[in-house]
């Protein structure tokens, strides 16, 4: 079973073009496999997004929360959490 919720998978499927030139998944199953393979992560707050991006080597010190949420790797989810996908 996927660690990603249906809402998370649907959000990724709808918005995958923000990170990739071509779609990498056509349905929830493919999306779940892709996200698991690339070790995508869901976090519950923008503060956790900041920490995750900082730890991955991105200089986020001068970025606002809105700028962080607008990064191609960050997919805001309807429940207020975030999906982070390395491109």
Residues 45-85 pLDDT 10s: 999 999 999 999 999 999 999 999 999 999 999 999 999 99
The packing angle between helices 28-37 and 6-15, to 10°, is: 90
Residue 87, pLDDT > 80, answer no
C-alpha closest to that of 50 among 35, 69, 78, 76: 69
Q: pLDDT at position 78, please? A: 96
Three-state DSSP state, 40 = coil
Q: Which residues are within 8 A (CB) of 22 and not within 5 positions of it... i.e. 6 or more apart?
A: none
pLDDT-based confidence at residue 3 (cuts at 50, 70, 90):
confident
Q: pLDDT at position 11, please? A: 98
């Amino acid at each position: 079973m996927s660690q990603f919720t249906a809402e998370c998978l649907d959000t990724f499927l709808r918005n995958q073009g923000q990170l990739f030139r071509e779609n990498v998944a056509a349905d929830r199953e493919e999306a779940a496999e892709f996200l698991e393979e690339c070790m995508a992560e869901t976090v519950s707050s923008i503060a956790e997004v900041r920490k995750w991006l900082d730890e991955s080597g991105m200089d986020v010190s001068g970025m606002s929360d809105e700028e962080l949420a607008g990064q191609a790797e960050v997919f805001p989810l309807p429940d207020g959490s975030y999906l982070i996908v390395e491109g």
